[in-house]
Amino acid sequence: MAVPSLQDGIDKAGSPVELLWQPDAEPWTPEVVAREYSGWRQEQAAWHEGVALLNLSHHMYDMWIEGPDATRVLADHGVNNFEKFAIGQAKQYVPVTRDGLIVTDGILARHAENKYLLSGIPAAQHWVRYHAEKGGYDVAFETDASSAFRPGGGDPKLFRYQVQGPLAMDLIEKVFGGPLPETKFFHATPVTLDGRPFEALRHGMAGQAGYEFIGPWEHAAHVHEAFLKAGEPLGLIQVGALAYTTPSVESGWIPSPVPGIYTDADLAEYRAWLPLFGIEGKRPLNGSYFSRDIEDYYVSPYELGYGRLIHFSHDFVGRDALLKAKDGPLRSKVTLVLDPDDVRTVLGGGEDPGFVLSYARHRVETDAGGLAGMTMQSASIDPVGTVLAQTLVDAEHAVPGTRVEVVWGEHPGAGTDPEADLGFPRIRATVQPSPFDEHARTLYRRDR
């Protein structure tokens, strides 16, 4: 029996939106890792005030790309600068469609002249692999799915542990017996712990200092235990699945935007190649913002703040469209600071609502009721004392201090007017910059 494709699912549902629309969809959290260790509030505080240890080993997809055409296929289908891409460096890889719409992003690490590792949400991996196969590029692939979807189960090929927070460097010096070699942001340096080799990627989250340690799974338990033991006198906190989802709201990264692949006739073959039961067919849409047209959910890399990554000195799919879009009307990415009293009233029934996480597209409206934009991810940020929402708004509403309202509810989908007044409550909010964290907004960007 043939495996149903994404196109099969769209045809059966009647439209891409009808396939993806799932009111009250449970928000994604990382698989395998405990939801909380010491409580999400304490875990969030750790990377702001102390030191946090995060286990990223299980929820990311990895795809190794190797061969004489490895650089060429990645450059032909990504906006990034490959003229300046050192071995040992990582970049946020951004593939777009011919219309200049983002497919999704991923982390691309260069391991050798013709060998790369692309990690993250698998939509970017699907895009690269499909075009490599269709275009006859001389390149081979090896993939490792996340632990929840790995065929036959088993352990991942790699461990990934992040050490973050003001005391991160103190912990690292205790573990390795001294400071690591000076390393540029998003560059890796080889390290050894008790004879076990792996690498340290200079990385940060929500603007905090730290590293991501990556190596063969056979060393995972030993490395993890070493960090736990050395971190005990420093008050090391392990971060669970709930708190792990929230730094992106502070650092300005919007996870898993809707890929711009569902309507282009030239991508019909691609949709027939993609499995229905993959990220493109199963990542749900929901919230108070509803449109029957999936193109209303598409986003430009400019809107996500990726303009600095676009390198026009090489030819790539979507280049002409991005050149045209550069000076056109685009939405702006902002952080909405939701009014804490309204959050308690609407989400907590008058009490503290506890942990809030939503990837729903909620309507953002002006005081007069006009549509200003839509949220992309909302989460409780305890050090701030309320819920923050990464949001796309029309440029005229993007000035910090602008007052707007978030319509909080679940539109039922097809069969109900997208503009119907369904009596959803409204939460007052104030526009602030994105990234919300000042270090992430200034030094973090400069260092990259």
User: Are 105 and 93 within 8 A, CB to CB?
Assistant: yes
pLDDT of residue 331: 97
- pLDDT on residue 38: 98
**Where exactly does CATH 3.30.1360.120 map onto the chain?**
40-60+152-251
Q: Are 252 and 434 in contact (CB under 8 A)?
A: yes
Q: Determine the pLDDT at residue 441.
A: 45
Name the segment(s) of the chain with CATH classification 2.40.30.110: 332-447
The pTM score is 0.95
Residues 421-436 pLDDT 10s: 999 999 999 999 999 9
Which CATH class for the 332-447 domain? mainly beta
What are the Cα distances from residue 371, in Å, to 257, 364, 386, 393, 404?
20, 6, 23, 9, 10
CA distance 381 to 355: 9
At 315-325, the pLDDT tens digits run: 999 999 999 99
> What's at 269, amino acid-wise?
E
The Cα–Cα gap between 170 and 160 comes to 19
To which H or E segment does residue 319 belong? helix 319-325
Closest CA to 109 of 249, 30, 212, 246: 212
**pLDDT > 90? residue 70:** yes
Q: What gap in Å lies between CA 51 and CA 164, rounded to an integer?
A: 6
Give the CA radius of gyration of the chain: 22
pLDDT at position 268 over 60: yes
Instruction: For the domain covering 40-60+152-251, report its CATH number.
Output: 3.30.1360.120
Measuring CA to CA, which residue among 288, 296, 298, 297 is closest to residue 413?
288
